[in-house]
């Protein structure tokens, strides 16, 4: 595959925020860390291999581009995993008329997966689906959805073909979907469009107080030249109705744009947010930013830059020992799936980047983890195998003591 033919997910995310503009945001920091952000990014990394690592190739189909997995634990030893699949073509595309969400499950904590009886939904433009288990057999989830048509049908469908490496597509928005039978079926009448023209990426979070939070990203108003901001929506009735968006991190042409937020509750009403950012003219792209909320997501502190290089999205998990686990794909050499740990609620992250699985290139980086036993983690991701087929990987590994 020629590098000129490849379209990174970052490029696609920027383009999908608005079909009206292909402008790139100018990122010139004007906050109190401005001086530091004019310096060159230090992308050096202290790498150690995680312990007790065991690798699994969960699903590799040479005819499908399979990516963006999310895994959640149901009752007992049952895991549910959702990911996007679309036909393989000469270049990587993030749109396709046959793009679907595939759902598989494991009954033995990820040792084996029932792929033969996989389910599917969101036909015609399912981009990503992040499930969350709400108990009593109820599984909810955030769905990123597009309308996609063949190129020759763009005029009849009234969908512009703005991005030539993609099919003609329109960003429908973020949906809340739910199943009342452990994710076995997903009835169409149990889908609610709550974030029109925005996108979802991470899973929803159910707070101690019972409120659901749904992180989203995208262009919030016309005339913003495609600048993306991160927001959260709130629901107090398990997703049947949703609030207006609350701003997490606002993008601007004079600062930066934000994508793919993840939210984690540290304690009652106290939240940690982490963000992927867009391109910066100073070359400080690829770093995670983070901030906090102390009122359940209604207001947020100013986001600040971390020293963690990724180029993909962050994923957070609260561990049974009280620490926070961050997993991410590194799209800069050395490529791979990595983990960092925090013992103080995300104020500081371990200097060591724990290598969970090496990757051959940057076509990887969307991870999801469950703690299957105290100190024992299963992390799903996507990556290419030695044959160049993109598929779903699984890594079993042990938490370090430090």
Reference 259, options 243, 244, 274; nearest CA is: 274
Two tokens, residue 106: 């494991």
- Distance in angstroms (rounded) separating the CA atoms of residues 95 and 90: 13
Reference 142, options 58, 65, 229, 217; nearest CA is: 217
Alpha carbon 358 to its chain's center? 19
**Architecture of the domain defined by 3-34+45-398:** 6 Propeller (2.120)
Sorted by sequence, the CB contacts under 8 Å of residue 217 that are 6+ apart come out as 13, 17, 198, 199, 201, 228, 229, 230, 231, 258, 259, 260, 261
Name the CA radius of gyration of the chain, rounded.
20
Alpha carbon 213 to its chain's center? 15
In this structure, are residues 97 and 148 in contact, taking their beta carbons and an 8 Å threshold?
yes
The torsion angles phi and psi of 213, rounded to 5 degrees, stand at: -115, 135
- The whole-number pLDDT of residue 38 equals 56
Two tokens, residue 169: 């597509």
Sorted by sequence, the CB contacts under 8 Å of residue 106 that are 6+ apart come out as 77, 78, 79, 81, 112, 113, 114
Two tokens, residue 57: 């190739």
Q: Domain limits of the chain?
A: 3-34+45-398
- Distance in angstroms (rounded) separating the CA atoms of residues 83 and 67: 6
**Residue 295, CA atoms < 13 Å, CB-side half-sphere:** 7
Two tokens, residue 276: 């992927």
Helices (H), 31-77: 34-37
> pLDDT averaged over consecutive 10-residue blocks of the chain (402 residues)?
40 42 33 53 94 98 98 98 96 94 98 98 96 98 97 96 93 97 98 97 98 96 73 97 97 89 97 90 84 98 96 97 98 97 98 97 96 98 96 98 82
| Residue 208 parent element (H or E) | none
Burial 269-297 (b: 16+ CB within 10 A, else e): bbbbbbbbbbbbebebbbbbbbbbbeebb
Q: How far is CA 399 from CA 212, 307, 326, 402, in A?
A: 29, 22, 12, 9
Sorted by sequence, the CB contacts under 8 Å of residue 219 that are 6+ apart come out as 17, 18, 197, 226, 227, 228, 229
Reference 250, options 270, 229, 266; nearest CA is: 229
In this structure, are residues 310 and 277 in contact, taking their beta carbons and an 8 Å threshold?
no
For 182, counting Cβ atoms within 10 Å of its Cβ (0-12 exposed, 13-18 middle, 19+ buried), the class is middle
- The whole-number pLDDT of residue 40 equals 83
- The whole-number pLDDT of residue 175 equals 98
- Distance in angstroms (rounded) separating the CA atoms of residues 233 and 192: 13
């Amino acid at each position: 595959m020629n590098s000129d033919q490849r379209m990174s997910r970052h490029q696609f995310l920027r383009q999908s925020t608005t079909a009206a503009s292909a402008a790139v945001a100018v990122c010139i920091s004007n906050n109190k860390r401005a001086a530091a952000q004019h310096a060159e990014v230090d992308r050096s990394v202290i790498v150690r291999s995680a312990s007790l690592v065991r690798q699994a190739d969960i699903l590799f189909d040479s005819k499908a581009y399979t990516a963006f997995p999310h895994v959640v634990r149901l009752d007992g030893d049952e895991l549910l995993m959702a990911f996007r699949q679309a036909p393989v073509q000469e270049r990587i595309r993030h749109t396709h008329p046959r793009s679907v969400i595939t759902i598989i499950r494991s009954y033995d904590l990820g040792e084996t997966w029932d792929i033969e009886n996989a389910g599917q939904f969101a036909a015609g433009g399912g981009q990503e689906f992040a499930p969350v288990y709400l108990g009593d057999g109820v599984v909810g989830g955030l769905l990123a959805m597009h309308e996609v048509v063949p190129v020759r049908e763009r005029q009849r469908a009234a969908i512009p073909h703005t991005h030539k490496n993609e099919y003609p597509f329109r960003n429908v928005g973020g949906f809340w979907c739910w199943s009342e039978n452990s994710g076995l079926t997903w009835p169409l009448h149990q889908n609610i469009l709550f974030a029109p023209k925005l996108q979802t990426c991470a899973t929803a979070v159910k707070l101690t107080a019972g409120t659901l939070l749904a992180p989203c990203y995208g262009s919030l108003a016309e005339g913003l030249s495609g600048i993306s901001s991160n927001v959260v929506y709130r629901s107090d009735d398990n997703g049947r109705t949703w609030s207006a968006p609350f701003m997490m991190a606002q993008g601007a042409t004079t600062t930066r744009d934000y994508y793919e937020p993840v939210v984690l509750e540290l304690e009652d009403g106290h939240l940690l947010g982490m963000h992927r950012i867009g391109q910066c003219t100073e070359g400080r792209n690829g770093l995670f930013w983070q901030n906090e909320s102390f009122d359940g997501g209604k207001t947020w502190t100013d986001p600040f830059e971390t020293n963690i290089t990724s180029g993909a999205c962050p994923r957070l998990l609260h561990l049974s020992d009280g620490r926070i686990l961050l997993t991410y794909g590194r799209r800069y050499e050395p490529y791979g799936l990595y983990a960092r740990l925090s013992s103080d609620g995300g104020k500081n992250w371990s200097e060591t980047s724990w290598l969970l699985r090496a990757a051959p290139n940057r076509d990887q980086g969307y991870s999801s983890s469950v703690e299957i036993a105290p100190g024992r983690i299963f992390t799903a991701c996507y990556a290419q195998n030695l044959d160049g087929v993109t598929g779903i990987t699984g890594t079993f590994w042990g938490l370090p003591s430090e």
